[in-house]
Amino acid sequence: MTRLSSWAIRLALVHLGVAFTAGAWLLAARGFPTLAPPSWLRPAHLELALLGWTLQLAMGVAYYILPRHATGAARGSVRIAVVAITLFNLGVLTVVAGAAADQSAALLAGRLAEAGGVALFASNAWPRIKAFGT
């Protein structure tokens, strides 16, 4: 496993742990309204579970297992992939912070960072999606 994949997958596992902790709180509050969490916890839970955990795990594994280039950098530009994962995680955290602070500008900035991270990742991975022997 590459260093970048291991970082992305470990970050995904951290997101998983936080997302399930938030989810347990939200579920308990459904039964006991006195345990009601802050209103931003639900969008944070969604963000961490669907993007921070699931999507990031897929990106981390894809970077590792997609077919490698026969010549040059085996997995494309490491620098672009590092920027992509960094930008994506900053985006997830900014969206969560924006939800907590009820700041639309932060939500927008976070979503842009997430989209930028995914676009960079996809541009780097795209040429590796090919038939065997090509």
Partner 1 sequence: MPSVTRWFIKSGMVCLLAALVGLVAMPAREFLPFPAVVAVLWPTLLHLLVVGWLTQLIFGVAHWLFPRRTREAPRGDERLMWLAWVALNAGLVLRLVGEPLALMGQGAGGILVASGVLQWVAAVAFIVNLWPRVKAR
CA distances from 112 to 26, 48, 71, 72, 90 (A): 27, 16, 33, 31, 10
d(Cα 110, Cα 124) in Å, to the nearest integer?
21
Q: How many residues bind partner 1 (CB under 8 A)?
A: 26
Residues 42-61 that bind partner 1 (CB under 8 A): 49-50, 53-54, 57
State yes or no: residue 66 binds partner 1 (CB under 8 A). no
Rounded distance between C-alpha atoms, residue 98 and residue 91, angstroms:
10
36 part of the interface to partner 1, by CB under 8 A: no
Based on the shown chain and the rule CB under 8 A, indicate whether residue 92 belongs to the binding site for partner 1.
Answer: no
Tell me, residue by residue from 12 to 31, as one string, x for binding to partner 1 by CB under 8 A and - for no binding. Answer: -x--xx--xx-xxxxxx-xx
Least distance in Å: CB of 1 to partner 1? 5
Considering only CA atoms, which of 59, 46, 50 is closest in space to residue 7? 59
